[in-house]
Amino acid sequence: MKNEKLLQQIDFIREIDKIKYIQRKTKLFNSDRRENDAEHSWHLAMMAMVLHEHSDDPVDLLKVIKMVLIHDIVEIDAGDTFIYDQHKNHDNTDEEMKGAERIFGLLPEAQAKEMMELWKEFEAGHSNEAKFAKSMDRLEPLLQNVSNNGGTWKEFGVKYQAVYNKKKVIEQGSNSLWEYAEELLDKSVERGILKK
């Protein structure tokens, strides 16, 4: 093969297959089966596609979709950290940074740089696209836990205030989605599947 660049791209495509083995704590809708990172990322991309009109600020949809598609690739090396884990910081660990450098680094230089910047921008959460992408990332497991009668909230004894604090990130991307999310949280308390 003369095309060295293509071979680098294929190596990356092979490597990221491993994301399909990274299990999240949250389970599929109405299900006992835990979701993996590939399924989760696909679902967030679909949500961005369907919900982007609810973003408070204008967003470049392609950029949002790219962000959610790649945001968990670092977990191939760093593993998934449960968002309510008391002992380990969920975001921006050294392991994640090393994972990003190794995995995105398989790509040709310009693409590696683009991926790294997209991932860092998502993690920082400042741009319109990052804020909206993070809204999607917080909304999906909320919908799943509601459909699973409390899901991981019940399984791990997570209380209303802790959930509320994490979910409030949705507000930074979309007021209308946050309003909807708050209603779901209130109804979950009423139903007894989320404890105050």
Nearer CB in complex with a copy of itself: 8/195: 8
Counting contacts by CB under 8 A, is residue 36 touching a copy of itself?
yes
Q: Does 143 contact a copy of itself by CB under 8 A?
A: yes
CA dihedral 98, 104, 110, 111 (to 10 degrees): -150
Q: What is the SS3 assignment for 196?
A: coil
- Cα–chain center distance at 175: 19
Cα–Cα distance for residue pair 174/156, rounded to 1 Å: 28
Residue 43 makes contact with a copy of itself by CB under 8 A: yes
Tell me if 186 contacts a copy of itself by CB under 8 A: no
User: Which of residues 41, 135, 148, 152 is near a copy of itself by CB under 8 A?
Assistant: 41
Cβ distance to a copy of itself smaller for residue 1 or 86:
1
CB 54 within 8 A of CB 64: no
Q: Which stretch binds a copy of itself (CB under 8 A): 66-74, 82-90, 93-101, 157-165?
A: 66-74
Q: Does 190 bind a copy of itself (CB under 8 A)?
A: no
Least distance from a copy of itself to the Cβ atom of residue 153, Å: 18
The candidate with the shortest Cα–Cα distance to 145, out of 164, 130, 129, 122, is 164
Per residue in 109-128, is it b (16+ CB within 10 Å) or e — as a string?
eeebeebbebbebbbeeebb
Handedness of CA 152, 72, 36, 51 (dihedral sign): positive
Q: Can you give the binding site for a copy of itself, defined by CB under 8 A?
A: 1, 3, 6, 9-10, 12-14, 16-17, 19-20, 28-29, 35-36, 38-39, 41-43, 45-47, 49-51, 54, 61-62, 65-66, 69-70, 107, 111, 143, 147, 176-177, 180, 183
